[in-house]
């Protein structure tokens, strides 16, 4: 008897499970409506006709920044009736591959590596942007930016957020007390470093430890200095591997980095000797500046989040950043940076509408007003950018003299850009010489 009831119970549970699955599959788009006739929605008139549709977005941005991002398109979603489902993941790069290969691709992804876009384009997975998005993107972004998402003449996505890497963090307070001036050329920078070294403190501090990605801050150093030492053309050739990794020009730039990072008189302020760079977490690399034990720390604009809450980040505060000076100012203003591109795996009209909106000036300003944001969008109003460092970044990006180049390690094959280049630079910091370091990275370049 007891066994019969148990059998029935098992059958019931099974049936309930099935019913649940079926119920969850049914039922969507019932009575969805947009709000475009409301007065606050006039800006979105062009995006009519997608009410009730769903667009999924997948990206690596998470935490507070993800909250702000979702808030930035909330009005768009409310007005048009498009349901935007955002998901951020720390395993973005690998998971995106799995999802795409498993026919489970998101509608839209924010991809920070142009190399990855290239892979997906070659695999025929991505859809080119609509004409509307393309014309908006060409209007709002410089050709320097768009070329990283253009393949075979097709644009696959407009940039979204950006960061500027050509920054040197310093303490305005210390500079004022000691009467130092912000250097505007490489020679002034070195001269000031020598002056500071003469006062007994080591002027530079750095940290390149970052778990499995240890070494990446040093690759940014090389890229930034290469742009200054050899210019953007050599940089492009180097990234595309039309000159070898161990070319004398690259060696010259590497040695120029070495004149700071491997100079025992210059590093590692407040932390230790040259080798301590390799074991210091990149998050902690610049912190001695606040304690007055170090003067310079070259790191991207996003380092602003790493300072303790008590330190004021402003031109007249405890810490701020100046533009990493060029070797020859007459040759323009090279800027190293990175950012993500809004690419789509689907060309449904509502997906294209989201892509178009994210390329628009409206979104760039709506996101900037929420704070903690930099975009290369030319229509971004500086008044909407609150934090001083973000303002500085936007100014640099919008400066017509700026020659922008994307972070090279994101453009190289991942075995090099996210592998041997990182490792090579770590070895180089811990004592390996320039020639054998570059030789070994060159040897690792996929044939």
Partner 1 sequence: MTAHAEAPAIPTATTPQRTAAGRVRKRLTSRWASAASLIIALLWTVPTFGLFISSIRPEDEIKSNGWWNFFAKPQFTLDNYQEVLFGTSSSSGRLAGFFINSLVITIPSVLFPLAFCALAAYALAWTKFRGRDWVYIGIFALQIVPLQMALVPLLQFFSSTFDLEGTASFAQVWFAHTAFAIPLGTFLLHNFMAELPGDVIEAARVDGAGHARIFRQVVLPLIVPALASFGIFQFLWVWNDLLVALVFSSGSDVRPLTVRLAELAGTRGNEWQRLTSGAFVSIVIPLIVFLSLQRFFVRGLLAGSVKG
How far out from the chain centre does Cα 84 lie?
22
User: From the CB of 95, what's the least distance to partner 1, in Å?
Assistant: 6
- Which positions lie near partner 1, rule CB under 8 A? 3, 17, 20-21, 24-25, 60-67, 70, 85, 87-91, 95, 98-99, 101-104, 283, 302, 305-306, 308-309
DSSP annotation of 207 reads -
Look at residue 212 and give its three-state secondary structure. Answer: strand
First to last CA, the chain: 72
Strands (E), 157-269: 157-164, 167-170
Q: How far is the CB of 69 from partner 1 (least distance, A)?
A: 9
Smallest gap from Cβ 414 to partner 1, in A, equals 18
| CA atoms of 251 and 237, how far apart (whole Å) | 14
Smaller CB separation from partner 1, 43 or 311: 311
CA-closest candidate to residue 143, choices 337, 329, 404: 404
Q: Minimal distance in Å, beta carbon 207 to partner 1?
A: 13
Max Cα–Cα distance, the chain, nearest Å: 94
> How far apart (Å, rounded) are the C-alpha atoms in residues 162 and 336?
11
With CA atoms as reference, report the closest residue to 337 among 277, 285, 283, 399: 399
Alpha carbon 325 to chain centroid distance?
A: 21
Please state the closest distance from residue 57 (CB atom) to partner 1, in A: 12
Minimum CB separation from partner 1 for residue 2, in Å? 10
Cα–Cα distance for residue pair 436/225, rounded to 1 Å = 19
Q: Which of 267, 300, 292, 252 is nearest to 409 (CA)?
A: 300
3-state secondary structure of 71: helix
| Residue 29 Cβ vs partner 1, minimum distance, rounded to whole Å | 13
Q: CB 124 → partner 1: shortest distance, Å? A: 16
Write out the two tokens for 440: 């070994």
Q: Per residue in 339-352, is it b (16+ CB within 10 Å) or e — as a string?
A: bbbbbbbbeeebbb
């Amino acid at each position: 008897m007891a066994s019969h009831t148990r059998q029935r119970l098992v059958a019931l549970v099974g049936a309930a499970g099935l019913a649940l699955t079926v119920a969850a599959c049914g039922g969507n788009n019932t009575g969805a409506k947009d709000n475009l006739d409301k007065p606050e929605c006039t800006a979105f008139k062009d995006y009519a006709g997608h009410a009730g549709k769903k667009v999924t977005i997948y990206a690596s941005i998470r935490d507070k920044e993800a909250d702000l991002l979702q808030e930035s398109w909330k009005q768009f979603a409310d007005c048009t009736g498009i349901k935007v489902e955002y998901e951020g993941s720390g395993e973005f790069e690998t998971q995106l591959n799995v999802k795409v290969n498993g026919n489970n691709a998101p509608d839209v992804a924010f991809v920070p590596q142009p190399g990855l876009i290239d892979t997906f384009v070659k695999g025929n997975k991505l859809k080119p942007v609509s004409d509307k998005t393309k014309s908006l993107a060409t209007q709002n972004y410089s050709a320097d930016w768009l070329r990283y998402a253009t393949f075979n003449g097709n644009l696959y996505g407009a940039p979204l957020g950006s960061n500027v890497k050509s920054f040197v963090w310093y303490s305005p307070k210390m500079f004022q007390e000691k009467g130092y001036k912000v250097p505007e050329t490489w020679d002034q920078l070195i001269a000031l470093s020598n002056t500071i070294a003469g006062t007994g403190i080591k002027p530079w501090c750095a940290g390149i430890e970052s778990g499995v990605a240890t070494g990446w801050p040093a690759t940014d150093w090389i890229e930034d200095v290469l742009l200054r030492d050899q210019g953007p053309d050599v940089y492009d050739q180097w990234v595309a591997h039309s000159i070898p990794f161990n070319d004398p020009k690259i060696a010259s730039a590497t040695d120029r980095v070495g004149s700071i990072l491997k100079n025992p008189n210059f590093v590692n302020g407040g932390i230790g000797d040259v080798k301590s760079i390799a074991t210091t977490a990149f998050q902690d690399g610049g912190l001695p500046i606040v304690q007055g034990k170090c003067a310079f720390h070259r790191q991207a604009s996003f380092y602003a989040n790493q300072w303790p809450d008590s330190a004021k980040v402003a031109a007249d505060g405890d810490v701020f950043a100046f533009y990493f000076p060029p070797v020859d100012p007459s040759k323009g203003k090279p800027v190293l940076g990175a950012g993500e591109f809004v690419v789509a795996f689907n060309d449904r009209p509502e997906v294209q509408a989201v892509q178009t909106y994210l390329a628009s000036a409206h979104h760039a300003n709506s996101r900037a007003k929420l704070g903690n944001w930099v975009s290369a969008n030319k229509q971004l109003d500086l008044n909407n950018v609150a934090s001083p460092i973000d303002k500085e970044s936007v100014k640099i990006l919008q400066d017509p003299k700026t020659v922008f180049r994307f972070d090279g390690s994101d453009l190289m094959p991942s075995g090099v850009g996210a592998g041997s280049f990182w490792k090579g630079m770590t070895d180089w910091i811990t004592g390996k010489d320039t020639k054998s370091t570059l030789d070994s990275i060159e040897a690792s370049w996929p044939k």
